[in-house]
């Protein structure tokens, strides 16, 4: 495959989704300068791998690379940020046991009106506070508009996992909005 | 969700409903449950309010223009490539073909994969990565008497820095690359709008005495050995022009 062919494919496949790529990197790293680095590194990886693009979903393909790059980046620069999901779900199960106070077992759910009134700063802070596996699911669905199958492809998990993480992410976000409201 | 909460599955399905992920039959079933259960109805109202708040209030994170430009420049697409009067890569490739037919003064060797290939890959990667950075060098200077001392104290041995401005390859700066886990000096030269990185890898015993030519991800590389140092020049220049650069670099008088 010639370099011109690679460039043409990169322009067709990756460039249209560079905005989404940057947005996802920004939400995952929480920082504009870090998002710059991640997008550039991911673009390099995508360009090198463009020959392996299978022609299905260009956005999911691109975002998969961005997500993996962001995780390598977080692991390298912010050890401890990426909590293993298994640990997280074990914690939640423990919290949800009967007789224990926990968000899942006994959600202090805010009223619809309170959610509707939440301002941008509170929403952004709430999203940023979500553990990474929940945050990425919520961002991909509610901010970037991917459907469940696309999200499953990007995160390389089954659709059922996408659904449960999305539900948890929204539950936590709603609770945060409610609890921080004075 | 746990089995302790009998409504857990229904709650998941409400998410799927507001996300438009249910087929009509399942959607109808969930709608019926919502109609019969005020708690589920309240959950749906909250989810819709949340989605709407997220959609309308969370400010987008627009792609900065400089990020797009860096990516375009690094892979050689977009405005960076469409400038008039500059030869396209295809044209350069054609001129290379002609040069090869005419017989180059240098001897190119087609080698079996060797240690040099791994080094060449790393050199090409560092070059590409540097193109993506805000500037492709850490010290910016066209004066070799500024660039050479900059390396002192950062690496054991400063590289040979030559002035090629007369040959239309002005020096633009230098940086530290990492090749095979070692910090090595890299010089950056320019030819028209194209940048050339020259990495100087100490202890280059594996490099052959003859010129070695590679193409890694579309970038041309030329490697050679001088004493104990292996040099690799990498650029998106056509092979013919890169060859001319290498010849100029090698024949330039040392300080």
Of B12, B90, B218, the CB nearest to A163: B12
pLDDT-derived band at A95, boundaries 50, 70, 90: low
List of chain A residues whose C-beta atoms are within 8 Å of the C-beta of residue B63: 18-19, 21-23
Task: Determine what percent of chain A is predicted with pLDDT higher than 70.
Answer: 81
For A12-30, how does the pLDDT look when each residue is reduced to its tens digit (9 = 90+)? 899 989 999 999 999 999 9
Closest Cα to residue B86, out of B240, B212, B191, B177? B191
Of B4, B74, B90, the CB nearest to A43: B74
Residue B58, SS3 per DSSP = coil
**What is the spatial distance between Cα B246 and Cα B224, in angstroms, rounded to a whole number?**
9
Rg of the Cα atoms in chain B: 29
Residue A69 Cα distances to A60, B120, B137, angstroms: 14, 23, 23
Most confident of A74-88, B26-40, B195-209: B26-40
pLDDT, greater one: B91 or B15: B15
Q: Is A107 exposed, middle or buried (0-12, 13-18, 19+ CB in 10 A)?
A: middle
pLDDT, greater one: B249 or B6: B249
Mean predicted confidence (pLDDT) in B228-238: 87
**pTM of the shown model:** 0.60
Residue B204, SS3 per DSSP = coil
Give the pLDDT of residue A49.
92
Q: Looking at chain B, which residue has its C-alpha nearest residue A48?
A: B217
Closest Cα to residue A11, out of A43, A39, A54, A52? A43
Helix ranges, chain A (H):
3-13, 18-29, 32-49, 58-77, 85-95, 112-117, 120-129, 132-138, 148-155, 159-180
Of B59, B62, B218, the CB nearest to A3: B218
What is the ipTM, given to two decimal places? 0.86
Interchain contact A52–B (C-beta under 8 A): no
Beta bridge partners of B235: B196, B220
């Amino acid at each position: 495959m010639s370099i011109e062919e690679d460039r043409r494919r990169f322009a067709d496949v990756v460039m249209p989704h560079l905005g989404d790529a940057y947005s996802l990197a920004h939400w995952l790293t929480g920082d504009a300068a870090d998002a710059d680095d991640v997008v550039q590194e991911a673009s390099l990886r995508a360009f090198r791998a463009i020959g392996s693009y299978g022609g299905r979903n260009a956005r999911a393909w691109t975002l998969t690379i961005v997500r993996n790059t962001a995780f390598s980046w977080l692991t390298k620069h912010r050890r401890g940020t990426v909590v293993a999901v298994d640990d997280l779900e074990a914690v939640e199960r423990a919290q949800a046991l009967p007789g224990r106070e926990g968000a899942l077992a006994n959600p202090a759910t805010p009223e619809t009106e309170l959610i509707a009134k939440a301002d941008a700063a509170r929403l952004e802070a709430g999203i940023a506070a979500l553990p990474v596996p929940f945050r990425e699911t919520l961002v991909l669905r509610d901010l970037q508009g991917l459907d469940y199958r696309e999200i499953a492809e990007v995160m390389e998990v089954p659709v059922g996992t996408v659904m449960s993480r999305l539900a948890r992410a929204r539950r936590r976000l709603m609770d945060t909005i409610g609890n921080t409201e004075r | 969700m746990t089995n302790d909460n009998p409504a857990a599955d229904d709650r998941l399905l409400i998410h799927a409903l507001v996300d438009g992920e249910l087929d009509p039959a399942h959607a109808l079933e969930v709608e019926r449950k919502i109609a019969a259960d005020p708690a589920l109805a309240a959950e749906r109202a909250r989810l819709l309010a949340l989605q709407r708040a997220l959609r309308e209030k969370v400010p987008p994170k627009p792609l900065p223009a400089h990020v797009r430009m860096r990516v375009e420049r690094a892979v050689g697409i977009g405005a960076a490539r469409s400038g008039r009067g500059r030869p396209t890569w295809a044209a350069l490739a054609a001129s290379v073909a002609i040069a090869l037919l005419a017989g180059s003064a240098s001897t190119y060797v087609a080698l079996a994969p060797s240690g040099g290939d791994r080094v060449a890959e790393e050199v090409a990667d560092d070059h590409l990565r540097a193109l993506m950075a805000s500037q492709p060098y850490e010290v910016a200077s066209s004066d070799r008497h500024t660039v050479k001392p900059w390396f002192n104290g950062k690496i054991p041995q400063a590289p040979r820095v030559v002035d090629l401005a007369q040959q239309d390859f002005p020096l633009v700066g230098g940086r530290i690359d990492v090749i095979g886990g070692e910090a090595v000096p890299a010089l950056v030269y320019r030819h028209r709008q194209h940048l050339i990185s020259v990495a100087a890898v100490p202890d280059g015993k594996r490099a052959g005495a003859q010129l070695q030519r590679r193409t890694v991800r579309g970038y041309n590389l030329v490697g050679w050995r001088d004493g104990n140092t292996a040099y690799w020049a990498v650029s998106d220049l056509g092979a013919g022009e890169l060859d001319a650069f290498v010849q100029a670099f090698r024949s330039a008088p040392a300080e």
